[in-house]
């Protein structure tokens, strides 16, 4: 893409973005290093996800002159490259910025991140007639998006507020009730965990993707729902890719009789663990296996050295209550859309 002209976000002359440009790139090891280094980069922008989605990866590098400034991960509609879409299971993506230079003070770093975000969004608005993406929670300053066509008659972006929960993890070799994780849970979750432990529910690490997919499908069926066409194949491809890269963790909760009750699946990047998928045996939905599976998974990840878990969405009442009952901090992110004539 050609150099980005002075932005039309603001009054004329407010900000010169002419030194910035967007260059298209491809998935692969080099792209993954960019995502891992960017503060806003998450597992969902890595090649293991973007290459397997049923959309065309649209990956961009932003440069200010010859200096790397940021990146963008989008999903293009395969039938219309002028449209981007919110691909299923790609929870976060969109604009990422370069880590601040060591010599920059906080004000300088914030200003540079602002300009990079502004330049990226301006360039994307020139490229796409329909622009849709979900931000990462770390992209806190959305003013360059909100101010697109500021004071003018052109189309304005729409931001749909979403939430996830970030949970700090600390390795602790002690009794369940003494751990910070347990003490951070609400009263009903602590009670469920005690019942699960006392009733003999155990949790084991697993590598069996097929068992997870079977339970995942039966979880949908219990609710009278069907998985979307191609969803099972997508999940298998992504899980296989993550496992091959050493990024996948599966934990299975078993009843005292040895029956499978619940499975949770986490993915890892350089920053944190992500709760990707969960499934529960329909006939055992009230046996507290789900509570123990997630609790044990978080403990195991902490022992592995993972410092933080993204519980990946608390945007419906039941799911939100369950995940937030383990403690954690609410983090906002947004689904951004800009539809132009």
26: phi then psi, degrees, rounded to nearest 5: -120, 160
Instruction: Give 65-111 as a DSSP string.
Output: TTEEEEEEEEEEETTEEEEE---TT--S-EEEEPPPPTT--HHHHHH
The owner of tokens 């932003």 is: 62
Measured in whole angstroms, the distance separating CA 263 from the mean position of its chain's CA atoms is 19
At 285, the pLDDT band (50, 70, 90 cuts) reads low
SS3 at position 60: strand
Distance CA 102, CA 65 (A): 19
pLDDT of residue 101: 84
Residues 110-151 pLDDT 10s: 889 999 999 999 999 999 999 999 999 999 999 999 999 887
pLDDT tens-place string over residues 162-208:
999 999 999 987 889 999 999 999 999 999 999 999 999 999 999 99
pLDDT in tens, 75-111: 999 999 999 999 999 999 999 999 988 888 989 888 8
pLDDT of residue 286: 64
Residue from 159, 105, 120 nearest 38 by CA: 120
| Tokens encoding 21 | 């440009």
All structural domains of the chain: 20-162+334-339 (3.40.630), 170-306 (3.40.630.30)
| Beta-bridge partners for 59 | 25, 73
User: How much is the pTM?
Assistant: 0.92
């Amino acid at each position: 893409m050609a150099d980005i002209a002075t932005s039309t976000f603001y009054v004329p002359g407010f900000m010169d973005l002419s030194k910035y440009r967007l260059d298209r790139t491809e998935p692969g090891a080099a792209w993954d290093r960019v995502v891992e280094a960017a503060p806003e980069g998450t597992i969902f922008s890595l090649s293991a996800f973007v290459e397997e989605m049923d959309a065309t990866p649209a990956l961009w590098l932003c440069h200010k002159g010859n200096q790397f400034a940021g990146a963008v991960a989008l999903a293009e509609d395969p039938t219309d490259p002028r449209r981007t879409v919110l691909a299923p299971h790609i929870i976060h993506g969109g604009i990422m910025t370069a880590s601040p230079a060591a010599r920059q003070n906080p004000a300088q770093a914030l200003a540079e991140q602002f300009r990079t975000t502004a330049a990226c969004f301006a360039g994307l608005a020139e490229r796409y007639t329909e622009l849709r993406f979900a931000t990462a929670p770390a992209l806190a300053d959305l003013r360059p998006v909100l101010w697109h066509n500021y004071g003018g008659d052109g189309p304005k972006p729409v931001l749909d507020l979403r939430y996830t929960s970030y949970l700090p993890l600390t390795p602790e070799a002690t009794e369940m009730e003494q751990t910070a994780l347990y003490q951070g849970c609400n009263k009903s979750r602590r009670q469920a965990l005690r019942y699960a432990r006392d009733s003999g529910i155990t949790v084991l690490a697993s590598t069996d993707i097929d068992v997870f997919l079977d339970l995942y499908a039966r979880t949908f069926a219990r609710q009278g729902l069907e998985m979307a066409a191609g969803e099972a194949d997508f999940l298998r491809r992504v899980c296989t890719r993550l496992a091959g890269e050493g990024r996948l963790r599966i934990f299975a909760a078993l009843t005292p009789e040895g029956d499978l009750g619940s499975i949770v699946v986490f993915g890892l990047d350089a920053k944190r663990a992500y709760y990707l998928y969960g499934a529960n045996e329909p006939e055992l939905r009230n046996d507290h296996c789900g509570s123990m599976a997630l609790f044990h998974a978080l403990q195991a990840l902490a022992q592995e050295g993972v410092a933080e878990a993204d519980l990946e969405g608390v945007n419906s009442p039941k799911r939100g209550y369950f995940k937030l009952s383990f403690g954690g901090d609410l983090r906002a992110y947004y689904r951004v859309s800009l539809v132009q004539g």
